[in-house]
Each structure stands twice: as structure tokens, then as C-alpha cells.
């Protein structure tokens, strides 16, 4: 493996309103490199492949263990986390781009506040009475816990939204992550007190009906969260509610 | 004054910061919450194994007193005992509350909370949610804070960097100065009290198990403003990490809690892959040396044992600094149910399947026991400024027990939040010249930014950081020698000197991350001197602090809290020592090797 190099190109953009451009980099290969460590190497020696001085890459990252959800980007066209993208498993030249469906702030950093706003809209929390002592929590069987835990590992990376053909400005679709969180809190013995409100928030334009069942979400989810299953399950509840609401009128 | 709603600033949105935010908002005060990242992405997500509390749901006769005793003993008696006792007493209530918030804790068949065993105890005291307990706890608190946010009681400032505290002429904290990481604008914010919840200092050691944001910069800035930094030398090196190019990834202690065994081939020239080495040719050195606790000795003990096996006995795998951590004897279903998350990390980042083959691990910098000095109310020596969680020094003494960190973060937030609100209610009128204190601080920080941006030097800040990390990891972690510590301090002075000659390749004033990092680097270098000199001055071995030239604990001279203060004229720390509260449990020799 002597003198093996890593070739990669990064789509850069100085600010939200400036034009994007590509820069190519070439580094000596080492075992165990991931995409993040390529960025770290560029920061140590910010020079492009054709020896032009440049600036370190701006990108979101934090835990580097695929639990914080920060470093999502497009790597060889796929929405994924940069920390768990191992260079040895990637075809070269590796292309690295910011998400295409979120506003670019700079280089690979995009604005993903829309998901956190969605979580507010569906009241993604258990409405406890207060933090004062009220004794033990509800009993929950292990099977139910295991189901909840799967959904609760969603780290708000937004890969599912980036990959979804329906997630765009014309539909205003909330995306799979939000729907799976609605399912999680509707499952909880106390959380379900807000079930009706959550379902209401997912009705109408931009709601669950926008899903076109392309199933891209479940394919890209780094945590293998059962997203399509969650959409069907919540979709069923929304449908039931719609029928009931109709007869209540 | 009394009729206005108190305004509390919280800096940091991990477990400590969010716990405090919930308490403050619940009491009707207003929270301004500052964080470098969206709070849901804070470093607390990395905590894997669990959270301790003596719920005693396994019929073992566990109690909060025994938890207290294990914690004080595990910390080698360096922690003041009253807050530790209170934390252990609050533990069961905290678990119940988290359970009510919807944390998907693992369950027994009867549907009650399941508990597992962690290091430094003989009880199953650790509640857990798979192997991503920190993530799950953080999410539960994040959700509650989002609820308060939607009610207007909490205002989040995400992607903001804390630069400094704003102190009035009486040196009372009246707010903060911060920088918007998008526009790079420097802004001051007034508050009745400020809570720092800014985590550990991993980045000072280059590669660690910590997240990218754990630089210690905020603590370093406050130390230079007069806050006392305590027990800085107490740095925990976790025995089981996965070495990586970009960071050291933690392999949770829960792997050993669920039966994982640490071993090396008896023959240093062994060439067979781990799985094929027969039982008789393996040496389970922790079980051999510590029959009672076995693989679950505290982290400092396990780390030194691994260093001894690798460096002194030359038995690292294939001559490399690595030992095996083996789970492959446990059935797949159990592993997936209890450890799924962390085994995924190993598979994803190393490429081997730990269900099938033993993992290769080595110790790495993990936790900051030292931190900003606080009193029993969590207030620092600067009035109105509190510190909570990993950035405060108060609970873990000279070594933290596994699964106590999550508890200590929430405990500190729950104590400090109400204290801060109470303090705000009794806060006297501000001095008349307060406005100028804000103006001056903003000017000072803006000038520092401009100086850095216009610097015409030759040093790359990331190279300086690499040198800092290398020397700190080499000389100021597991084994410490005074000559090496002195050498390190000389190097730190050199790095500070070279820092003045730094040159930013990116001088833009829009979301400039390398500029931000370079700013942080200065505070990291100053804090590195506190850690190094504190280690130099402590001529004994206690907990994580180990000096072969002083191998015994020396209570007569060093049962004391190290307190560092910044001396502005000398531009270096000066030290004081404070007696430790040992009123409840008398110090006894700390040994885990008896039967």
C-alpha cells in the first residue's frame, strides 16, 4: 500500500448567498481514516490538490461516534454521517457536499432548525406535572421498552428528510423523523395524553398525507429506525381520527 | 426590583445545563440558554453505560449510604463529603423523575427498572437505556426544555460561544459576553445569575473520548477572570477506548459490567488471532490481580494495570499498545439487548464484529474530575457565578466511578438552579457604573478578536494544538514524573509564546470555525498549565493521579483540594490548598485487590 493517496473534492460556499464551488484535495493514505479526519488534515495544511492555499473546511461535528447527529452531509451522493464514513469503504474521488434541501450557511454547514420546530409543533415530550417527587414511573414491559428505545435513538440528523423526494418547499412535508417521534410519545403511558394534539398537527397540508412511500428514509437512517413502519402506524391513527372527527361534526 | 422576573443565564446545554434550565423555568424565572451546538447534540449523548442510584431493586441490600461510601472511597477521599452524600440521597428520586419523563430505561420482566453492575461497587446499581443512556437522558431533558421553550420560559442561543463573564466593580457576576458563531458578532447579556455547564477539557489532551466542543475554553476564560480552578490535575483515563484517527472512542464500562473480560496472550510472540488463542494461553490479568472486583475494578486501577501489562511486561497484542476486551463468549441476543449501541460503534468504526471476535482496546483521556471550584451551593468564588456538572470539581474527588457522571450532572443542575433563583431574588441593586462594565467587557473581547484576525504570524493553530495534545497525553495522564511535568510546563510556555505568532488562513467574519477554535486554544493553553503544575505540586499518588516516585497516598500532606488562581502579572497560576471535608467517612486505605 505504499504511496497510496486519498482523493476527495468538497463543495464549498462562503456564505448563504454566495456561489458554491468545488475544491479538490489529495492526502497520503493511512489506515483508519474517516471523512472527519480528512477535514482535520486540511485544517493542519490548508492547501488544495493543485497547491493553492485555501481555508479550513467549515462543518458541523461533535461526538464523532454517530450519536449526536451533527455531521450529516452528502458523501458520494448519499445522506450520511461523516464520522462513520470510513475512507476505505468509499469510492474515490470522494465527493462531499452539504445537504441540498436545507439552507447552506457555509461550506458543509446547513440550517436544520426546521426539525426542532417540527418537534415543538407535535409536542414531542411527556407532559409531566412537575419535577417534584411523585414516586415511581409507570411500569413498562421490556417488549414495549425495546420498541420505544428504537425510536428514541433518533438523533435529529435529518438524513431521512434529505433523502425524501416529498421533503421540499412545495409540499412542506414534516418528514419521517418527526412522525416517528409522534409515534414514540403516543406510545408512552403518560405521553399519550397529548395523542390527539399530535395527530392533529400531522393532519392536512405538509402532514403525514404527503408521504409518497418512496422508502428512502428508512434506507439512509444511520440508526435503522423503523421509519416507514412508524409512518404507517401514525398514518392509521390519523386516518381513524379523521373519520371520528368527521362523524363528530 | 422584587417584582421583576429573575433572569438566569445558563451556558451549556448538556445534562447539567438542561437540568438547571428545567428547575429555573419551573420556578418561574426566565432562562437564557447558550450553547455551541444545538443542545440536543451536546457531549452528554456520548455517555453509554448508565446512571447510578441506590434504588435497591435487586434485593441486594443496597442503600444510598453504600453508594455514598463507594463514591467517596472510589474518589480516594478527595471529595468534600456533604455534597456527595446529598447526591446519592437524591439519586433514586432523580431516576424516578427521568423515568416519568419517558427515558426508555431497560426493564425487568415485571416491568420495573433493570439495573446492572459497574466498576468500583459490588451492587447492581446502574440504571441504563441500552448502551446509549446519556443520549436517552439528554433527550428526555431536551424535550422538557423544548416544552418550556414553546411556552416562552426558555430562550435558546444555539451556536453561540461564551467569551467571558461580565463582572461589576464589586466583582459580582452580572452577565456574560458571548459571540454569535454565524455573524461573529460580540454581544453582552445581563443576568441576575450565571450558571456554567460547559463540560470537560478533553481537547487539551488532543485526542480523547470527549466531543469536539469539550475544550475547557470557558473554564479557562473564567480562571483568567479570577475564578478558582480546583483539582485540575485529576484527569481520568478510561481503560477501554478504541484508538482512532480523529478521536478515541469509548468502549463503555458496561461491556465489563455485562461480563466482558480483559486479557492478553501469555506469549508476547503470539501470532494467532484473538479468537483462536485457547483459554490456557490467555492471561486474564484483572481477574488474577483483583479477584474480588475482577474486571470491574475502578477505572484508574484498570488503566494502570493495562499500562503495566503493555509497557512494563511487554505483553500488548502483537507488541502494540493494545489488550483484548472480550464479549464473544456471551450470546448474541443478550449482547444486542444490553449493549447493542456500543457494539455498533466498534463494528462501524473498526470493521470487526465484537459478537465474534475480542475487541482491541487501550486507555484514553476520558473525564475531568477537577474543575471550577464551587461551594455547597455550586457557586464559584465569583459571586453570582455558578458551575455545574463536569466543569465543576465537587463530586468525584481523585477518580470518578462509572455511571456517577450522569447523576452528578443532574444533581448539580437541580441544586444550582433553585439556588441561583434564590440568589437572584436577594440580589442587591447594581452599582451605578454597571453599563460601563458591559461596554468595557464587550470592547475587551472585540479587541481580542481583532488582534487575532489581524495577526500576521506564521504558526498554524491546529499544529500548535497537536503539539499541546501530544505532550499533555504523554506526560500528564497515567504515569507522572516531576521532571517530565516541568518539561511540559516549559513547553506550554513556549506554545503560549508561539500562539502570539499565530496566523489564521481564514479571516472571514462569517461562521469562521478556525477563528473560534484559535480563540479557544489560548484558554486551553492557560488551563493546561493549571493541570500540569497542579500535578507537579501533588507529590503523592491518589486515585487517577499516580507518581511512581511517590507511590503512596499521603493524607498528612495532600488530603487537600488544590486551588489554582490566575496571577495576571506573572501570567501563570498560583496555588492554595484547602482541607477536605471528611466528617462522615474517615479515610481508609483504598485497595481493590483483597479477596
pLDDT tens digits along B268-312? 999 999 999 999 999 999 999 999 999 999 999 999 999 999 999
Closest by Cβ to A53, choosing from B211, B345, B505? B505
Q: Could you give the CA distance from residue A20 to residue A30 in angstroms, rounded to a whole number?
A: 30
Facing residue for A126 by CB, picked from B38, B101, B182 = B101
Measure in Å the smallest separation between the Cα of B552 and chain A Cα atoms: 37
Question: Which residues does chain B have within 8 Å of residue A84's beta carbon, measured at their own beta carbons?
Answer: 348-349
- CA-closest candidate to residue B191, choices B361, B438, B16: B438
**Chain A hits for B128, Cβ within 8 Å:** none
Confidence at residue B595, expressed as pLDDT on a 0 to 100 scale: 55
- pLDDT category, B430, cuts 50, 70, 90? confident
Interchain proximity A84–B348, CB inside 8 Å:
yes
Structural element, H or E, at residue B196: strand B193-196
Q: What is the SS3 assignment for A79?
A: strand
Contacts of A139 in chain B (CB under 8 A): 110-112
A-chain residue closest to B515, CA distance: A56
Q: In this structure, are strands B385-387 and B193-196 parallel, antiparallel, or unpaired?
A: parallel
Classify B336 as helix, strand or coil.
helix
Quick one: cell of B392?
A: 465543576
Distance of residue B36 Cα from the nearest chain A Cα, in angstroms: 10
Give the per-residue pLDDT at B1.
Answer: 43
Q: Do A37 and B246 touch (CB under 8 A)?
A: yes
3-state secondary structure of B283: strand
**Of A83, A120, A138, which has the smallest distance from its Cβ to B150's Cβ?**
A120
CB contact at 8 A, B387 and B230: no
Q: Which of A33, A83, A116 sits opposite B38 (nearest CB)?
A: A116
Question: In whole angstroms, what is the distance from residue B317 CA to residue B310 CA?
Answer: 8
- Helix (H) or strand (E) holding B15, with range, is helix B15-26
Domain limits, chain B? 1-234+369-574, 239-361
User: Distance of CA B481 to CAs B313, B487, B546, Å?
Assistant: 20, 10, 9
CB-CB contact of B146 with A119 (8 Å): yes
A-contacting residues in B 155-214 (Cβ below 8 Å): 182, 211-213
CB-based contact (8 Å) between B38 and chain A?
yes
Instruction: Find chain B residues with C-beta within 8 A of A45's C-beta.
Output: 460
> B135–A67: do the CB atoms touch at under 8 Å?
yes
CB contact under 8 A, B146 and A120: yes
C-alpha cell at A43: 485544517
B42 contact residues in A (CB cutoff 8 A): 62, 68
Mean pLDDT computed over A49-67: 97
Determine the Cα–Cα distance for residues B355 and B349; give it in Å rounded to an integer: 15
Question: Which of B41, B106, B147 faces A70 most closely, judged by CB atoms?
Answer: B41
Report the C-alpha gap between B307 and B169 in whole angstroms. Answer: 51
Topology of the domain comprising B1-234+369-574:
FAD/NAD(P)-binding domain (3.50.50)
Which grid coordinates belong to A1? 500500500
In contact, B218 and B392? CB cutoff 8 Å: no
Give the pLDDT confidence score for residue A249 in this predicted structure.
65
Instruction: Give pLDDT tens digits for A163-178.
Output: 999 999 999 999 999 9
Interface check B511 vs A, CB under 8 A: yes
Q: Which of B21, B38, B248 best tests the A interface by mutation, with the highest count of A CBs <10 A?
A: B38
Radius of gyration for chain B, computed over Cα atoms and rounded to the nearest angstrom: 23
Compute CA distances B370 → A66, B300, B374, B398, whole Å: 28, 15, 11, 8
Among B180, B175, B178, residue whose Cα is nearest residue B159: B180
Nearest to A149 among B129, B143, B414 (CB): B129
Summarize the confidence of residues B421-442 as an average pLDDT. Answer: 94
CA distances from A23 to A20, A42, A59, B251, B575 (A): 10, 11, 15, 36, 50
Contacts of A5 (CB under 8 A, 6+ apart): A26, A27, A28, A29
ipTM of the complex model: 0.97
All cell numbers assigned to B160: 453561540
pLDDT of B351 reads 86
Output the nine-digit C-alpha cell for B48: 453509554
Report the Cα B66 to chain-centroid distance in Å: 24
Q: What is the pLDDT of residues B516-551, one digit of tens each?
A: 999 999 999 999 999 999 999 999 999 999 999 999
Cβ-based contacts of A60 with chain B (< 8 Å): 37
Residue from B492, B587, B574, B486 nearest B535 by CA: B486
Q: How far is A8 from A5, CA to CA, in rounded Å? A: 10
Helix axes B133-150, A113-121, angle to 10 degrees: 70
- Active-site annotation holder among B116, B117, B299, B529: B299
Confidence of residue B2 (pLDDT cuts 50, 70, 90): very low
CA distance A29 to A87: 9
On chain B, the residues whose CB falls within 8 A of the CB of A33 are 245
The domains found in chain A, sorted by start residue, are 5-110 (3.10.20.30), 113-248 (1.10.1060.10)
Cβ atoms of residues B24 and B376 within 8 Å? no
Percentage of chain A lying above the pLDDT 90 cut: 96
Residues in A closer than 8 angstroms to B98, CB to CB, are 137
Touching check for B508 and chain A: CB below 8 Å?
yes
Q: Do A65 and B46 touch (CB under 8 A)?
A: yes
Pick from B153, B115, B116: nearest CA to B31: B153
Strand B160-167 to B124-127 pairing: unpaired
- The residue-averaged pLDDT of A107-121 equals 98
Mutate to test the interface with A, among B45, B140, B202 (most CBs of A within 10 A): B45
Taking the CA of residue B112 and the nearest CA in chain A, the distance in Å comes to 6
Partner-chain residue, chosen from A30, A105, A116, that has the shortest CB–CB distance to B511: A105
Q: Residue B338: pLDDT above 90?
A: no
Q: In what order do the strands lie in the sheet with B115-117?
A: B51-52, B124-127, B115-117
Closest approach of A47 to chain B, Cα-based (Å): 10
Query: Taking a C-beta distance cutoff of 8 angstroms, is the pair A83, B60 a contact?
Result: no
Instruction: Let me know if B505 is exposed, middle or buried by CB neighbors in 10 A (0-12, 13-18, 19+).
Output: middle
Question: In angstroms, how far is CA A118 from the centroid of its own chain?
Answer: 13
Q: Do B1-234+369-574 and B239-361 fold alike per CATH?
A: no
Question: Can you tell me the mean pLDDT for A195-209?
Answer: 96
SS3 state at B48: coil
Q: Of chain B residues 107-136, which have a CB less than 8 A from chain A?
A: 107-112, 129-130, 132, 135-136
Residue B261 has pLDDT above 50, yes or no: yes
Q: Is B591 a catalytic residue?
A: no
What's the CA gap between B428 and A75, in Å, rounded? 56
3-state helix, strand, coil in chain A (%, to 5): 35, 15, 50
Cα–Cα distance for residue pair B204/B102, rounded to 1 Å:
36
Is there a contact between B349 and A84 if contact means CB atoms under 8 Å apart?
Answer: yes
CA distance B390 to chain A (A): 16
Q: What percent of chain B has pLDDT over 90?
A: 94
Mean pLDDT value of segment B40-59: 96
Count other Cβ atoms within 10 Å, centred on residue A58.
23
For residues B118 and B239, give the distance between their C-alpha atoms in angstroms, rounded to a whole number. Answer: 13
Q: Do A152 and B149 touch (CB under 8 A)?
A: no
How far apart are the CA of B512 and the nearest CA of chain A, in angstroms?
Answer: 7
Q: Which residues of B322-338 are buried (b: 16+ CB within 10 A; e: fewer)?
A: bbbbbbbebeeeebbeb
A128:B211 CB<8 A: no
Instruction: For chain B, positions 417-436, list CB contacts with chain A under 8 A.
Output: none
Would you say B304 and B298 are in contact if contact means Cβ atoms under 8 Å apart? no
pLDDT at A3 over 80: no
Q: Can you tell me the distance from the alpha carbon of B232 to that of B228, in angstroms, rounded to the nearest whole number?
A: 10
**Residue B248 gets which letter from DSSP?**
P
pTM of the model: 0.97
Band of pLDDT at residue B4, cut at 50, 70 and 90: confident
What is the arithmetic mean of pLDDT over A42-67?
97
* Preceding omega of A93 cis (within 30 degrees of 0): yes
- Quote the radius of gyration of chain A (alpha carbons, Å): 21
Calpha distance B118→B116 (Å, rounded): 7
pLDDT of A156 strictly over 80: yes
Question: Min CA distance, B230 vs chain A (Å)?
Answer: 26
CATH topology of domain B239-361: Flavocytochrome C3; Chain A, domain 1 (3.90.700)
3-state SS, B474-533, equals HHCCCCCCHHHHHHHHHHHHHHHHHHCCECCCCCCCCCCHHHHHHHHHHHHHHHHHHHHH
**Measured between beta carbons, which residues in chain A are less than 8 angstroms from residue B40?**
68-69, 116, 155-156
Instruction: Please state, in angstroms and rounded to a whole number, the distance separating the CA atoms of residues B149 and B24.
Output: 12
Residues of A whose CB is below 8 A from B511: 15, 58, 105-106, 109
Q: Output the average pLDDT for chain A.
A: 96
pLDDT band at B342 (very low <50, low <70, confident <90, very high): confident
Q: How confident is the model at residue B344 (pLDDT cuts 50, 70, 90)?
A: confident
**Measured between alpha carbons, how far is residue A77 from residues A20, A96, A159, B156 in Å?**
16, 8, 12, 33
Beta B186-190 vs B371-372: how paired, if at all? unpaired
Q: Which of B58-62, B319-323, B496-500 has the lowest mean pLDDT?
A: B319-323
Which residue does chain B place closest to A139, by CA atoms?
Answer: B111
The span from the CA of B152 to the CA of B192, in Å, is 18
What pLDDT does B70 receive? Answer: 97
| Out of B99, B144, B211, closest to residue A63 by CB | B211
Please tell me the distance in Å from B345's CA to the nearest CA on chain A.
7
Q: What are phi and psi of A7, to 5 degrees?
A: -110, 130
Contact B195/B420 with Cβ under 8 angstroms? yes
Q: Tell me which residue in A40, A66, A131 faces B348 most closely, judged by beta carbons.
A: A66
B243 vs A124, higher pLDDT: A124
Which residue matches cell numbers 472480550? B326
What residues in B contact A198, CB-CB < 8 Å? none
Write out chain B residues lying below 8 Å of A201, CB-based. none
B103-129: pLDDT as tens digits: 999 999 999 999 999 989 999 999 999
B429 falls in which pLDDT band (50, 70, 90)?
A: confident
Assign residue B210 a region (left: φ > 0; alpha: ψ between -120 and 50; beta: otherwise). Answer: beta
Interchain proximity A63–B46, CB inside 8 Å: yes
CA distance B207 to chain A (A): 12
CA angle A183, A185, A189 (to 5 degrees): 115
- Cβ-Cβ pairs closer than 8 A, A with B, add up to 192
| Distance between CA atoms of residues A209 and A76, nearest Å | 31
Amino acid at each position: 500500500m505504499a504511496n497510496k493517496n486519498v482523493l476527495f473534492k468538497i463543495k464549498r460556499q462562503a456564505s448563504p448567498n454566495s456561489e458554491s464551488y468545488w475544491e479538490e484535495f489529495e492526502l497520503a493514505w493511512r489506515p483508519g481514516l474517516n471523512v472527519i479526519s480528512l477535514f482535520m488534515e486540511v485544517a493542519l495544511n490548508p492547501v488544495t490538490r493543485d497547491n493553492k492555499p485555501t481555508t479550513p473546511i467549515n462543518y458541523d461535528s461533535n461526538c464523532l461516534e454517530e450519536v449526536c447527529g451533527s455531521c450529516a452531509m452528502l458523501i458520494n451522493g448519499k445522506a450520511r454521517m461523516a464520522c462513520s464514513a470510513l475512507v476505505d469503504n468509499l469510492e474515490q474521488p470522494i465527493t462531499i457536499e452539504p445537504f441540498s434541501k436545507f439552507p447552506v450557511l457555509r461550506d458543509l454547514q446547513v440550517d436544520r432548525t426546521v426539525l426542532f420546530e417540527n418537534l415543538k409543533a407535535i409536542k414531542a415530550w411527556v407532559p409531566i406535572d412537575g419535577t417534584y417527587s411523585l414516586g415511581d414511573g409507570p411500569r413498562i414491559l421490556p417488549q414495549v421498552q425495546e420498541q420505544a428505545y428504537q425510536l428514541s435513538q433518533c438523533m435529529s440528523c435529518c438524513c431521512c428528510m434529505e433523502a425524501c423526494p416529498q421533503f421540499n418547499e412545495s409540499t412542506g412535508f414534516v418528514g419521517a423523523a418527526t412522525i416517528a417521534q409522534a409515534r414514540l410519545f403516543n406510545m408512552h403511558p403518560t405521553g399519550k395524553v397529548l395523542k390527539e394534539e399530535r395527530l392533529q398537527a400531522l393532519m392536512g397540508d405538509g402532514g403525514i398525507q404527503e408521504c409518497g412511500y418512496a422508502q428512502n428514509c428508512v434506507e439512509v437512517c444511520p440508526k435503522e429506525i423503523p421509519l416507514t413502519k412508524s409512518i404507517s402506524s401514525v398514518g392509521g391513527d390519523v386516518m381513524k381520527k379523521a373519520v371520528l372527527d368527521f362523524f363528530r361534526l | 426590583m422584587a417584582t421583576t422576573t429573575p433572569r438566569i443565564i445558563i451556558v451549556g446545554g448538556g445534562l447539567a445545563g438542561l437540568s438547571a434550565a428545567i428547575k429555573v423555568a419551573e420556578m418561574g424565572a426566565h432562562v437564557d440558554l447558550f450553547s455551541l451546538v444545538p443542545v440536543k447534540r451536546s457531549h452528554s449523548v456520548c455517555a453509554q453505560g448508565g446512571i447510578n442510584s441506590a434504588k435497591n431493586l435487586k434485593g441486594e441490600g443496597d442503600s444510598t449510604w453504600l453508594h455514598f461510601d463507594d463514591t467517596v472511597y472510589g474518589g480516594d477521599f478527595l471529595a468534600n463529603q456533604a455534597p456527595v452524600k446529598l447526591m446519592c440521597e437524591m439519586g433514586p428520586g432523580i431516576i424516578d423523575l427521568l423515568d416519568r419523563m419517558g427515558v426508555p430505561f431497560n426493564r425487568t420482566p415485571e416491568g420495573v427498572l433493570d439495573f446492572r453492575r459497574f466498576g468500583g461497587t459490588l451492587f447492581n446499581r446502574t440504571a441504563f437505556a441500552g448502551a446509549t443512556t446519556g443520549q436517552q437522558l439528554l433527550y428526555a431533558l431536551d424535550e422538557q426544555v423544548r416544552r418550556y421553550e414553546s411556552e416562552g420560559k426558555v430562550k435558546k442561543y444555539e451556536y453561540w460561544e461564551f467569551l467571558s463573564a461580565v463582572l461589576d466593580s464589586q466583582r459580582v457576576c452580572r452577565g456574560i459576553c458571548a459571540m454569535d458563531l454565524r455573524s461573529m458578532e460580540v454581544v453582552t447579556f445581563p443576568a441576575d445569575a450565571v450558571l456554567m455547564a460547559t463540560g470537560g477539557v478533553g481537547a487539551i489532551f488532543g485526542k480523547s473520548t470527549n466531543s469536539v466542543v469539550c475544550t475547557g475554553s470557558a473554564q479557562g476564560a473564567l480562571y483568567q477572570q479570577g475564578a478558582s480552578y480546583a483539582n485540575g490535575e485529576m484527569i481520568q483515563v478510561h481503560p477501554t477506548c478504541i484508538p482512532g484517527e480523529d478521536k478515541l472512542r469509548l468502549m463503555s464500562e458496561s461491556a465489563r459490567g455485562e461480563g466482558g473480560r480483559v486479557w492478553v496472550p501469555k506469549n508476547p510472540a503470539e501470532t494467532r488471532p484473538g479468537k483462536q488463542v485457547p483459554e490456557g494461553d490467555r492471561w486474564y490479568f484483572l481477574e488474577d490481580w483483583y479477584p474480588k472486583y475482577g474486571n470491574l475494578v475502578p477505572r484508574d486501577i484498570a488503566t494502570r494495570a493495562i499500562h503495566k501489562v503493555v509497557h512494563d511486561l511487554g505483553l500488548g497484542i502483537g507488541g502494540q499498545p493494545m489488550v483484548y476486551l472480550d464479549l464473544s463468549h456471551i450470546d448474541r441476543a443478550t449482547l444486542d439487548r444490553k449493549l447493542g449501541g456500543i457494539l455498533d460503534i466498534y463494528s462501524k468504526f473498526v470493521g470487526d464484529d465484537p459478537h465474534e471476535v475480542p475487541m482491541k482496546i487501550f486507555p484514553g483521556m476520558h473525564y475531568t474530575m477537577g474543575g471550577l471550584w464551587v461551594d455547597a451551593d455550586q457557586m464559584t468564588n465569583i459571586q453570582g457565578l455558578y458551575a455545574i456538572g463536569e466543569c465543576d470539581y465537587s463530586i468525584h474527588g481523585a477518580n470518578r466511578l462509572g455511571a456517577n457522571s450522569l447523576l452528578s450532572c443532574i444533581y448539580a443542575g437541580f441544586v444550582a438552579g433553585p439556588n441561583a433563583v434564590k440568589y437572584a431574588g436577594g440580589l442587591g441593586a447594581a452599582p451605578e457604573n454597571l453599563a460601563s462594565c458591559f461596554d468595557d467587557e464587550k470592547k475587551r473581547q472585540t479587541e481580542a478578536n481583532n488582534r487575532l484576525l489581524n495577526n500576521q504570524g506564521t504558526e498554524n493553530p491546529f499544529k500548535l494544538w497537536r503539539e499541546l495534545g501530544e505532550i499533555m497525553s504523554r506526560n500528564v495522564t497515567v504515569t507522572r514524573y516531576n521532571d517530565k511535568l516541568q518539561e511540559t510546563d516549559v513547553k506550554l510556555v513556549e506554545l503560549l509564546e508561539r500562539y502570539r505568532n499565530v496566523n489564521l488562513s481564514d479571516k472571514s467574519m462569517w461562521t469562521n470555525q478556525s477563528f473560534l477554535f484559535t480563540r479557544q486554544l489560548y484558554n486551553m493553553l492557560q488551563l493546561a498549565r493549571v493541570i500540569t503544575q497542579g500535578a507537579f505540586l501533588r507529590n503523592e499518588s491518589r486515585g487517577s493521579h499516580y507518581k511512581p516516585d511517590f507511590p503512596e497516598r499521603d493524607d498528612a500532606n495532600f488530603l487537600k483540594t488544590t486551588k489554582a488562581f490566575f496571577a495576571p502579572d506573572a501570567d501563570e497560576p498560583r496555588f492554595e490548598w484547602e482541607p477536605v471535608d471528611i466528617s462522615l467517612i474517615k479515610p481508609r486505605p483504598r485497595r481493590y485487590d483483597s479477596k
